[in-house]
Amino acid sequence: MVRKLHEMGLRSDHAYNAGLVSVGLSVLAWLGSRKGEAAGQDRADRWGIYVGEWAPTLFGLGLALSQYEDD
């Protein structure tokens, strides 16, 4: 699967950058939910954690993609 993604043009830099963006989105989702919804702190925490789980996955994908790239 990773090889196919590499063949389609996805590079490790793309995945690393997406991981960094997801960290920022996690904070924004937490702040937005905390300020914009009446559901309270618990729901805001869940949104932040949900989006925050994307980062390790994307960083791992970046590491896997780097195995297919030339040095």
Region class of 28: left (phi > 0), else alpha (psi between -120 and 50), else beta: alpha
- The confidence score (pLDDT) of residue 47 equals 72
Residue 42 lies in a domain: yes
Is the pLDDT score of 28 beyond 70? yes
**Pairwise pLDDT comparison (8 vs 34), residue with the higher score:** 8
Q: Average pLDDT in the 41-46 region?
A: 72
Q: How far apart are CA 49 and CA 22, in angstroms?
A: 11
Range of the domain at 38: 11-66
Residue 6 lies in a domain: no
Q: 26 in a domain, yes or no? A: yes
Q: How many domains does the chain have?
A: 1
Residue 71: pLDDT above 70?
no
Q: Is residue 2 part of a domain?
A: no
Contact 1, 64 (CB under 8 A): no
Q: Is the pTM of this model over 0.85?
A: no
What number is the average pLDDT over the span 14-20? 95
In a domain, 71, yes or no: no
